[in-house]
A and B are shown apart, each in its own frame.
Chain A
Amino acid sequence: MRPEVVKPGAGGGRFEFRECRKIIKATGNKARNLAELMELIRSASDASIYHHTQEYFFKGHIVEYTNDFAQWAGSVLEARVLSENLSNIDPFRQASAEGLRGELANSISRYLEKYGAPGNVLPGDEFYFQESVTIVFPAGFRALNLAEFLMAMRFVDPQSIYYHFYEGRRRLEGVDDFSKWIEATLGLRDLALSIRAIDPFMHSIEGVREHIVSMVEEALKEEIEVSGI
């Protein structure tokens, strides 16, 4: 089951910036080695699978890999090949948690067959399975046009950018809230496509902000320029 769908930030033509907070829940399950990680991935709740993959970006910074499982495999188990494999899994492209779960577990299974299992990690270095409860609320900014959108984008909290750029993909079948509003309400399809082309895995939230600000600035500049030369 996917997490409950929440409303996007666009309403009545305006873009209402919203943001989210995550309250982390411990599940009590922890993996000491790869075989346990694989088994626990198979039995973990959907919320836990999403938390360790899609919500990885909520941390606001890209470390070395693109989800918690890959990060643990790389930094604690030093299973670099597996980290690379797991990092290539796109959690937003899977239609269900089941599909995502299968892809993650199969990747570990293939690794175990080929390379064997590294030993147990030291106590304290285990992988702790978690879930989260999401609180969504108004961020205190709204935009009626592209210029206002640009100003707001410069000042909203990173958690607001996360909510619209990453979490929006869950609600809008892989599309972020920003480009959806820019296309549907402002009719700026080219700008929307440029924003949609930002690779969500290759940037920190601040990196995403910089890209969008720069793209919107360029679009605004073109709009206000008198001469077309």
Chain B
Amino acid sequence: MISQYRGIAPKGQLELLKILGDKFAGRSILNVNSTRAGGGVAELLHRIMPILTSMGIDAHWEVIEGDDRFFDITKKIHNALQGNLESFTDDMWDHHFEINCRNAENIDLEADFVFIHDPQPAPLVRFRKRGHWIWRCHIDMSTPQQDVAGRIMDYARQYEAAVFSVAKFAMLLPIPEFIVLPSIDPLSDKNRELTPAEIEETASKFNIPPDRPMVLQVSRFDRFKDPVGVIKAYRMIKKYNDCILVLAGSPARDDPEGEAVLAEVQNFADGDPDIRILLLPPFSDKEINALQRLATVIFQKSLREGFGLTVSEAMWKGKPVIGGAVGGIPHQIVHGVNGFLVYSEEGGAFRARQYLNNDEMLKRMGEAAREHVRNNFLITRQVGDYLSICLGAENAGKTVMEIG
């Protein structure tokens, strides 16, 4: 499996995986989360598990089960940790714990390394038998509701270490807290190389003209992604440069505002034939991949963002992205080197015009963007990080570990 990444991922990342694979072959790693389908965590585990198994690691993935009330409570916990105001009763916390007790009876928690993902199964640590237990939090906890954070921290501090996606998402805990940035899989449909015929198929399907520059933003129809701001920027660009604008997104089932925002965007587009608003069905990964490859300029002009992996996805296709300087976007875009960070529609329009008028810059920054993703945001790096954390757990206190 690792050999499939040869020539795609950096050689060093693969060398490290080989060494860590030899080291951890036969050892057991258990991942526990709350869903097998839907959401970034499940998507990540679906892709990581075959890699771990192919390395000879005894990797397992368990999913906790719960009733509707449990998932209502955990949804509220999730929202509260992200800063929304939610109210809780002791009875709700008791139910959260009780469901975890029942799962602890049904799940084999015996493993050398146990990664518990997010707050839903966090109480499982109370049933720890052996091995190194690590809490992996994928949530932005930079401005949490304090009482809820306190409850979750009571569980978190019973782990040996915690892992967060960005430093500012971390909490102040008395255990080591590691930062593991998210990643993309270069072999997935969303990111793999496409044949010219596959790209052409998407261009025809959406009536994308081959001879005009395309400005693109791929995102849900969400005000925080600022689709209206992108249209404003496009109108500023259009005064100087010919282009079409494509806003592509899938309907988000968990976002009741999605339809209203889509209507707002369609209304704001005002029938402009050069603005294509594409509402793609879920799992349109190949189409999104093709659109990113067809685009000349790609925006991710978010006003608020989690990590914003769509930026890395676009950069992997050799496109320097114009991104809002929020959330994880500044981790991906090095301003002026492999893309531009912007703070306004005017800034977005200005940078897009720079790209449209300077092929050499577009090419140079696009190449830098792809290299940046190759070195920092591929799944091979993330698997290496997880196994390095396992290594660190067995060598607690060491700041340098030499292997191989």
Contact B375 A135 (CB under 8 A): no
Q: How close is A124's CB to chain B, nearest CB, in angstroms?
A: 6
| In the complex, chain B residues 273-330 whose Cβ is within 8 Å of any chain A Cβ | 326
What is the distance, in angstroms, from A219's C-beta to the closest C-beta of chain B?
Answer: 26
> B16 contacts which chain A residues (CB < 8 A)?
21, 135, 137
Main secondary structure of the interface of A (DSSP, over half): strand
- The DSSP consensus for interface residues of chain B is mixed
A-chain residues with CB within 8 Å of residue B168 when the two chains form the complex = 30, 124, 126, 128
- Asked if B202 is an interface residue, CB under 8 A from chain A, the answer is no
What is the number of residues of chain B that contact chain A, defined by CB distance less than 8 Å?
Answer: 40
A7 interface hit (Cβ, 8 Å) = yes
A130 to B334, CA, bound (A): 20
Q: Name the one of B12, B171, B335, B337 contacting A19, with C-beta atoms under 8 angstroms.
A: B12
Contact with B along A146-165 (1 / 0, CB 8 A): 00000000011111100000
- B404 contact set on A, CB distance < 8 A: 137-138
A47 to B399, CA, bound (A): 8
State in angstroms the CA–CA spacing of A26 and B398 once bound together: 16
State whether the Cβ of A202 lies closer than 8 Å to any Cβ in chain B: no
A23: B residues at CB distance < 8 A: 178, 180, 385, 388-389, 392
Q: Chain B residues near A61 (CB, 8 Å)?
A: 334, 337
Contact yes or no, A136 B11, CB < 8 A: no
Q: Which residues of A contact B392 (CB under 8 A)?
A: 23, 133
A63 at the interface (CB under 8 A from B): yes
CB distance from B11 to the nearest CB of A (A): 6
- Residues on B with beta carbons closer than 8 Å to the beta carbon of A138: 15, 19, 404
B177 within 8 A of A: yes
- A-B pairs, 9 with minimum CB distance: A157-B12, A28-B172, A24-B179, A128-B167, A26-B170, A137-B404, A26-B177, A4-B400, A136-B402
> 27 A-B residue contacts at CB 8 Å?
A3-B399, A6-B402, A19-B12, A21-B16, A21-B385, A21-B388, A25-B178, A26-B177, A26-B179, A61-B337, A123-B142, A126-B168, A131-B399, A132-B399, A133-B388, A133-B392, A133-B401, A134-B399, A136-B402, A136-B403, A137-B15, A139-B11, A139-B12, A139-B15, A156-B12, A157-B12, A157-B375
